[in-house]
Amino acid sequence: MYRWTVARAIRFLYRSTFAGQDSVMMRATAPDATFSFPGRSSFAASLTGREPLRAWLARFTALSPQFDVRDVVVSGPPWNMTVAVRFHDALGADYENEGVEWLRIRWGRLRSLDVFLDTERVSSWEARHAGVSHASNARPPAGVPVK
């Protein structure tokens, strides 16, 4: 029951974030949380703190990605929990990717989030849509549906 409840809460956090309600995720994030997104694209980051994470999420969600949580795996007690989230994301017809996000949570607060995905797909998409992906007020390219 514990793992089911945690998995349900994680899915809720992701849905809220991609619906533009990042305040829910920020309340569940420790002030000194770390975030890591690998690669050489402009999305690559190694961040510490809520505000840098909020800015990164705002930029990404402004692209209106389709982000589907496929699986949530929970391990460990509440004071030292590990959560793995397997996901699929897409931007229009020319970008799809799958990956895993590895979360460390202590007493209900996100302590770290590390993203593992095919970074070459991210870089290739960014090369095709450079004006969009680098804009601080990113808008989806033509053909990318806005949810």
DSSP state of 38: -
Q: Give residue limits of the domains in the chain.
A: 2-133
In this structure, the number of other CB atoms found within 10 A of the CB of residue 81 comes to 20
Burial class of residue 73 in the structure, from the number of CB atoms within 10 Å of its CB (0-12 exposed, 13-18 middle, 19+ buried): middle
CATH of 2-133, picked from 1.10.3080.10, 3.30.360.10, 1.20.1250.20, 3.10.450.50, is 3.10.450.50
Question: How many CB atoms are closer than 10 A to CB 70?
Answer: 10
pLDDT tens, residue order, the chain (147 aa): 889 999 999 999 999 999 989 899 999 999 999 999 999 999 999 999 999 999 999 999 999 999 999 999 999 999 999 999 999 999 988 999 999 999 999 999 999 999 999 999 999 999 998 877 554 444 444 344 333
Distances (CA, A) of 73 to 41, 60, 76, 78, 81: 28, 24, 10, 14, 10
Helix (H, G, I), strand (E, B) or coil at 11: helix
Query: How much is the pLDDT for 141?
Result: 40
Question: How much is the pTM?
Answer: 0.85
Cβ contact 30:51 at 8 Å? no
Q: Please give the distance of CA 23 from its chain centroid, rounded to a whole number.
A: 14
38: phi > 0 → left, psi -120 to 50 → alpha, else beta; which?
beta
Cβ neighbours around 127 below 10 Å, total:
10
